Amino acid sequence: MRILILAIATAFLMSGCSTLNNVIEAKEQGKGTVEIYDVGMDDAWTLAKKSFRWGGADAIEEYKEEGYMLTSKGMNLVSYGSVMGTWLESIGDGKIEVTVISKRRISTDIATGMTEDKYHRLFAKGVEILKSGEKLPLSAPDLDK
């Protein structure tokens, strides 16, 4: 009986698993949170990686020629983790459109590893740091300052 319950629970949890491919599909469907930043593409690419790192992401897959990167974040006490992607597109006048998508690894989780809003707040903070002439820190900057 225990094995049957465990098998049913596992099947339920696995049925809602998100993958990096689901992130790409979501982008193709026009989903994600979009912000525009006054920053060049090279700095935007660096900030995209830093924002993921500051948010605790694992290995980052970079597809620079296609203008996007994918990553994931492992599980913690409140989440089985998340899968994430960001797309960078130059829209002229030194501005970059940044789209980020963050999906819960398991759809029944009550929280995601890193929200789209938090990603954009980290990215914006990074732009602010660069514009001040400072170096980007290794650890996440304080978002309240």
pLDDT in tens, 107-142: 544 555 688 999 999 999 999 999 999 999 999 999
Residue reference for tokens 């170096």: 135
- Tell me the pLDDT band of 80, cut-offs 50, 70 and 90: low
Q: Is 45 a domain residue?
A: yes
pLDDT, residue 84, reads 94
Q: Is 40 a domain residue?
A: yes
pLDDT, residue 113, reads 63
Q: Which stretches of the chain are DSSP H helices? A: 2-15, 20-28, 41-54, 116-131
Mean pLDDT of 28-54: 97
Mean pLDDT of 41-63: 96
**CATH number of the domain within which 58 lies:** 3.30.310.80
CA separation for the pair 49, 44 (Å, rounded):
9
Residue numbers of the domain that contains 86:
17-131
